[in-house]
Homo-oligomer: A and B are copies of this chain.
Amino acid sequence: MDKLSVIKIGGALIEDKEALTVFLSDVAVHQGLKIIVHGGGKKATQWASKMNLPVKMHQGRRITDEDTLSLITAVYGGLVNKSITASLQALGVNSIGISGADGNAIQASKRPIEPIDFGFVGDVTQVNPLFFDQLLQLNQLPVCCAITHDGKGQLLNTNADTIAAEIAKAMSNKYDVRLYYCFELNGVLEDINQPESIIETITTDSYKQLLSDGVIADGMLPKLHNAFDALENGVTEIGIGSTKMIQKDCKYTSIRK
């Protein structure tokens, strides 16, 4: 099976043009086929502020009304996505930026309005692995933003970690898939105050132990939930750590069976 890396990048990296360029240079020399998934992070919040658009949150999660969806579609699907593809082209990597609507790549259903109405937020129902594969066969590196559609013309804001996991799962029928969650920490930490206290390996069994011991920070739980969902559904390894992780020249948290 050919190797495929699904690489998710987060907010802080996208803000920092220099760090993003270094990261994309690492991606350019990373062996094997690749797919990048990104959100937009703080940029959307900055623009909301510029446009006097109130940011509505519920338990740390953004509520996406119509204006916010327009903003997110613009910032994630346009500003951030096209900046990444233009930078990759400059590095000699042929890439194509997409949302879930393009090529019908990712369908989602609008989240039920009970108990909390999150607005235009979608939960992934279907990934189109054939389309991603067609792009890969054309030597294109797909760069996918965190926007999906419902197949009826409605765009939906969707969690980028989940999108990355769903793409990784869908592609694992054909490829040996590794999923990388690049973020601002060096991995899953034993002690959130000790940046080097990286838990280097988590298996299904050790995860249960870590959970019952209360070692894992609450903020990590959704990411780990996505990671184990991917692991149970055909993905070979999930890496959680800094952007240097894809070059394997640093420690990171490896989740595997």
Q: How many copies does the complex hold?
A: 2
Contact with B along A64-99 (1 / 0, CB 8 A): 000000100111111101110111011000111111
Per-residue CB proximity of A95-106 to B under 8 Å, as 1/0?
111110111100
Taking residues whose C-beta sits less than 8 angstroms from the other chain, chain A's interface range is: 35 or more
Please name the residue on chain B nearest to A105 by beta carbon.
B96
Give the dominant DSSP class at A's interface: helix
Interface-centre pick from A74, A95, A147, A151 (highest chain B CB count, 10 A): A74
List residues of chain B with CB within 8 A of the CB of A147.
82
Contact between B96 and A82 (Cβ–Cβ < 8 Å)?
Answer: no
Chain B residues whose C-beta falls within 8 Å of the C-beta of A97 in the assembled complex: 98-99, 101-102
Stretch at the interface among A152-160, A170-178, A185-193, A249-257: A152-160
Q: Please judge, given known A-B contacts A50-B51, A51-B51, whether A102 and B76 are in contact too, CB under 8 Å.
A: no
Q: Which residues of B are found within 8 Å of A86, using beta-carbon distances?
A: 101, 149, 153-155
Bound complex: CA of A102 vs CA of B98, how far in Å?
9
A residues with a Cβ closer than 8 A to B are: 47, 50-52, 70, 73-79, 81-83, 85-87, 89-90, 94-99, 101-104, 134, 138, 140, 147, 149, 151-155
7 example contacts (A-B, Cβ-Cβ < 8 A) are as follows A50-B51, A51-B51, A77-B82, A78-B82, A82-B102, A89-B101, A95-B102
The 10 lowest CB-CB distance pairs between A and B, nearest first, are: A78-B78, A90-B153, A77-B78, A74-B74, A86-B101, A74-B78, A74-B79, A96-B102, A86-B149, A85-B101
